[in-house]
Structure 1
Amino acid sequence: MTFISAIALVEAIEQTLGLQAKIKWPNDVMIDGKKTAGILTEIKAEMERIYYIVVGIGINANNTRFPKALRANVTSLALEAGRDVSRIQLVQALLHNFERWYQITKQNDIEHPFERWRAYSCTLGNRVHVNVGEETLEGLAIRLGANGSLYLLLDSGQEQEILAGDVTMVASV
C-alpha cells in the first residue's frame, strides 16, 4: 500500500499543481531533492487473511516556515508552486488515483505499479546510504524487488537486499 499511495500522491501533485515529484524509497515524496510528504503503513495480517491496513500520509501542503535545522531538506507544495494549495483538490486527486491503483493491484497486477514507481523513483540509479538498525550500508540503488525491497550494489560487487531502512542520497562530487 505504501507504493500505490506514493504513486497516487506523485500523480495528484502533478495533476493539481503541475509539479514534478519523485519517490525516495521506501516512503518519502520529494520535490527537487527536498521532502514534501511521507507515508506510513501499518498492517495486521496472517498467511491467508488481512485484518486491516492503515495508511497515513503527511503532506507539507501550505507550510511556508520550517525550523532552521530542516530548511535544507524539506519543502512544501505551496513553496514549490508559489501559491496556496487547495487541499481539497489535492486530496480528491489523491483518492481518485489511489482507488485506480488499488483496483489494478487487486487484479493481481503488481508489475504495473512497480513500473510506475520505478519511473517516479529518485533512488534507483543513485548512490545511497541506508541505515539498517546499527549498520550503515553504502552502494548504488540498482533495482526494486518483487516484495518492494531495495537492492544495493555494494562497492565489493555484492548485491544486498534491503527490506527496511532509512535512505540518504549520497551527493555527487
Structure 2
Amino acid sequence: MSYDVLSWLTPGLLLVLVLVSQGRADEKLTWDDPPFQAFSENLGGVIGKYYPDARLERPKASSKSLEWSYKTRKFMVHLPTLTGQWQEASEMLGPDRKGILCTAEIHEGPYVGMAVVPQTFDRHYFKVLMMAPNRKDVGAHLIVRLFYPSDIDKAVVSEIAELVQQFDSER
C-alpha cells in the first residue's frame, strides 16, 4: 500500500473508530440507570400531580428519550434564524390551552449546545423552558424541555425547574 492511500485511509479509519466507540458509550446510558430512573420518576410525579391524565411515552426507538404529554397538538411555528430573519413555518408539537408537554433526553458528556441554559423560548402559542442538568458522576447530562401555555400555574414550572436543579446538584 502506498503512502498516498494510507494518508487518506488513516483519518477515515480513526473517524469510524471514534463514531463507533461514541455509539457504544451512549448505549450504556439508559433511563433504567439509578440516577436517571429516580429523576424520571420524580419528574413524572410532579407532572402527574398537576396533570393526572398525562401520558408517558418513549417516542424514539432508543431508550434515551422520554415524553410526558397532556392536551397537545401540532402547531405551525415560525422560528428566527441566527441572523434574525424568519424561516418558513415548520410543524411543532406543543401544548394546547391547559395542556403540557415535557421531554427529557440523556446525552453523554457535559452540555455543549449553543443555547445558554436554562432559557425560555417564546414560540408564540406556547413557551419552551430548556434546561440541561449535568451529572459528572455518570459523565452525562439531560436535555429537559418544558412546553407550556402562557396561562399555566406557575407552581408547575417552578417545581419542575427546582427538580432539574436538584438533579444537577446531586453528585
Instruction: Calculate the TM-score normalised by the size of structure 1.
Output: 0.32
More helix by share: 2
Structure with greater contact order relative to length (CA < 8 Å, sep ≥ 6) = 1
Greater Rg by CA? 2
